[in-house]
């Protein structure tokens, strides 16, 4: 361990500093005192101190016991360290102390307090009146502090949504009871102290003076508290706004700017340009207006997913149709206009339906000779109907059945296997419309 710290050396040359820093960087990493989670009996102070000083916990506890015996210094030091040392950060999951360590620790606390009582009583340096209120008050403080730690851990768990409500607001009933008990104990300790020190006749004026002081301090510091809360709020809002802005900028850069660059490069190839523009438009739309898109808000989207009780990968019919249409658009460079009324979770039959519809869209894109295909899907309680239509050249159904299998196998076969129906309307020059109808399965395991 390097004792000579170059940063403190005012005459040190900068090159030397840099050299030392690159040589042994871990020497300068400041080790902070954290309250321990793995050796925690009351607040984890002794354990944290032991870890920080790299000595056994037992020694630290023994030191606290001795300090307690001598003029009750132990609890005072303990409380101060509790206040100034932060909790061990979340992440490093530590096992709580085992039964043996727990018994040992409690025994040492009892020993310390017992020794202190014995010493004070025998030496007579302090009246025994001192012990009861202080013990009660310290016990209450410990309860309150523990609860604050617990609230902080809860907040870490919940992903730090709110700072202000972290102390009381989010706890369970049990936590609230513990908190109230702690406050009552602290007040009780203070009250006991007062009752023993002051004659009953003086009590009302003293209490009044205390109350007045408390109110006065409160009133004076109100603006400061308000500003603290407001600043915290403002800062949080600014941070969220920054994150949003970054996300939007990243998205625009990743997708829109890249596509625009590609379009410029492909300017001589109108088909490719249309394909790129169309693909980008679809992506941006999904991002903005899609069921799980940016514009809907994440909470709402999550709620929708939850309500549907669908694994995210499976998705809904609306999304599946959008994906199928998008694939065809990308592959064949045609525009597929889709309208979907209603929505429902996907299942095996609906997957077959979407695949059949996709095949029908591909047929239209390949053979119709026009650049636009209309897809309309309606989800009703009992059935789902999909129409795929183009205004292209159409064909005579009598003549294709022998050599082409697209319609027969991929559409009709698929629909038949799952209990669906297919209707085809076409004739040369009249365009083509394929109507696919699939009954909806009633969920057995509702």
Partner 1 sequence: MTTPEQQERKPVRVFLVDDHALFRAGVRAELAAHGDDVEVVGEAGSVGEAVAGIAHHRPDVVLLDVHMPDGGGAEVLRRVRPANPSVVFLALSVSDAAEDVIAVIRGGARGYVTKTISSQELARSVRRVAEGDAVFSPRLAGFVLDAFSERPGAAPIADPELDLLTPREREVLRLLARGYAYKEIASELYISVKTVETHVSSVLRKTQLSNRYELSRWATDRRLV
Binding residues for partner 1, per CB under 8 A? 285, 288-289, 291, 295-296, 300, 303-304, 307-308, 316, 318, 335, 337, 339-345, 374, 376, 378-381, 387, 389, 433
Q: How far is the CB of 344 from partner 1 (least distance, A)?
A: 6
Q: How far is the CB of 17 from partner 1 (least distance, A)?
A: 54
Angle at 164 between CA 159 and CA 168, to 5 degrees: 90
Nearer to partner 1, 239 or 423 (CB): 423
| Residue 255 CB contacts under 8 Å (≥ 6 apart), including other chains | 280, 283, 284, 287
Nearer to partner 1, 181 or 335 (CB): 335
Nearer to partner 1, 352 or 388 (CB): 388
Contact between residue 109 and residue 78 where contact means Cβ atoms under 8 Å apart? no
Q: How far is the CB of 384 from partner 1 (least distance, A)?
A: 10
Nearer to partner 1, 9 or 337 (CB): 337
Q: How far is the CB of 383 from partner 1 (least distance, A)?
A: 11
Q: How far is the CB of 390 from partner 1 (least distance, A)?
A: 9
Nearer to partner 1, 300 or 331 (CB): 300
Q: How far is the CB of 289 from partner 1 (least distance, A)?
A: 4
Angle at 72 between CA 67 and CA 73, to 5 degrees: 50
Nearer to partner 1, 81 or 277 (CB): 277
Nearer to partner 1, 262 or 344 (CB): 344
Nearer to partner 1, 77 or 256 (CB): 256
Nearer to partner 1, 114 or 369 (CB): 369
Contact between residue 429 and residue 435 where contact means Cβ atoms under 8 Å apart? no
Q: How far is CA 302 from CA 268, 306, 311, in A?
A: 43, 6, 11
Q: How far is the CB of 257 from partner 1 (least distance, A)?
A: 17
Q: How far is the CB of 299 from partner 1 (least distance, A)?
A: 10
Q: How far is the CB of 276 from partner 1 (least distance, A)?
A: 15
């Amino acid at each position: 361990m390097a004792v000579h710290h170059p940063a403190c050396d005012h005459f040190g040359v900068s090159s030397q500093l840099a050299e030392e820093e690159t040589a042994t960087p871990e020497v300068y990493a400041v080790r902070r005192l954290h309250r321990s989670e793995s050796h925690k009996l009351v607040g984890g102070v002794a354990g944290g101190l032991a870890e920080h000083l790299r000595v056994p916990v037992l020694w630290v506890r023994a030191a606290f016991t001795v300090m307690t015996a001598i003029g009750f210094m132990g609890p005072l030091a303990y409380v101060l360290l509790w206040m100034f040392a932060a909790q061990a950060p979340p992440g490093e999951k530590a096992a709580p102390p085992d039964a043996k360590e727990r018994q040992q620790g409690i025994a040492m606390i009892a020993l310390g307090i017992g020794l202190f009582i014995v010493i004070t009583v025998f030496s007579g340096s302090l009246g025994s009146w001192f012990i009861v209120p202080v013990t009660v008050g310290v016990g209450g403080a410990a309860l309150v502090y523990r609860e604050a730690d617990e609230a902080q851990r809860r907040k870490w768990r919940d992903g730090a949504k709110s700072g202000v409500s972290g102390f009381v607001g989010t706890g369970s009933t049990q936590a609230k009871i513990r908190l109230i008990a702690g406050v009552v104990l602290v007040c009780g300790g203070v009250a006991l102290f007062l009752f023993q020190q002051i004659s009953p006749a003086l009590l009302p004026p003293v209490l009044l003076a205390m109350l007045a002081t408390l109110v006065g301090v409160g009133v004076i510091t109100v603006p400061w508290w308000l500003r603290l809360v407001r600043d915290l709020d403002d800062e949080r809002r600014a941070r969220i706004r920054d994150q949003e802005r970054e996300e939007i900028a990243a998205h625009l850069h990743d997708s829109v700017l890249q596509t625009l660059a590609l379009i410029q490069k492909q300017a001589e190839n109108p088909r490719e340009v249309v394909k790129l523009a169309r693909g980008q438009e679809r992506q941006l739309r999904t991002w903005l207006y899609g069921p799980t898109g940016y514009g809907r808000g994440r909470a709402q989207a999550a709620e929708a997913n939850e309500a549907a009780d669908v694994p995210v990968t499976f998705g809904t019919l609306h999304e599946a149709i959008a994906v199928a249409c998008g694939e065809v658009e990308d592959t064949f460079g045609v525009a597929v206009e889709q309208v979907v009324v209603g929505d429902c979770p996907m299942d095996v039959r609906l997957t077959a339906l979407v695949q059949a519809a996709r095949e029908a869209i591909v047929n239209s894109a390949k053979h119709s000779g026009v650049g636009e295909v209309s897809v309309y899907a309606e989800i009703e309680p009992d059935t789902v109907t999909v129409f795929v239509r183009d205004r292209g050249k159409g064909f005579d159904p009598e003549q294709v059945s022998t050599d082409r299998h697209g319609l027969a196998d991929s559409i009709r076969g698929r629909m038949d296997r799952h209990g669906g129906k297919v209707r085809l309307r076409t004739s040369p020059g009249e365009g083509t419309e394929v109507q696919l109808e699939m009954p909806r399965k009633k969920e057995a395991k509702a």
